[in-house]
Chain A
Amino acid sequence: MPLLDRMGWRTDDFSRDDVDGGIIVPLAALRSTLDARRAGVIGVEISNDVAVDRLAPYFAQLALIAIAFPAFGDGRGFSLARRLRQAGFAGRLRAVGPLIPDQGPYAFACGFDEIELPEASLARQSEAQWAAALGAISHAYQPGYARQTSIFERRRAARAHKQESRSHA
Chain B
Amino acid sequence: MGIEGIGARVARKEDRRLITGAGRYVDDMVVPGMKHAAFVRSPHAHAEIKKIDVRKAKAMPGVIDVLLGKELKTDGIGNLICGWMIHSKDGTPMKMGAWSPLAVDRVRYVGDAVAIVVADTKGQARDAAEAVEITYKELKSVSEAVDALKKGAPQIHPEADGNLIYDWEIGDAKATDAAIAKAAHVTKMHIVNNRLVPNAMEPRAALGHYDKAEDHYTCWTTSQNPHVARLVMSAFYNVAPENKLRVIAPDVGGGFGSKIYIYPEEIVCLWASKKTGVPVKWVADRTESFLTDAHGRDHVTEVQMAFDKDNKITGLKVDTIANFGAYMSLFSSAVPTYLYATLLSGQYVIPAIHANVRAVYTNTAPVDAYRGAGRPEATYLLERTMETAARELGVSPAELRRKNFITTFPYQTPVIMCYDAGDYAASLDAAMKAADYAGFAKRKAAAAKKGKLRGIGMSNYIEACGIAPSAAVGSLGAGVGLWESAEVRVNGVGTIEVLTGSHSHGQGHETTFAQLVADRFGVPIDSVSIVHGDTDKVQMGMGTYGSRSGAVGMSAIVKALDKVEKKAKKIAAHLMEADEGDIVIENGVAKVAGTDKNVPWFQVALAAYTAHNLPAGMEPGLKEGAFYDPSNFTFPAGCYICEVEVDPETGVTEIVQFVAADDFGNIINPMIVEGQVHGGIAQGVGQALLEGASYDGASGQLVTASYMDYAMPRADDLPSFQVSTSNTPCPSNPLGIKGCGEAGAIGSPPAVMNAITDAIGNNDLTMPATPQKVWAAIRAAKKH
Q: Do A and B come from one complex?
A: no
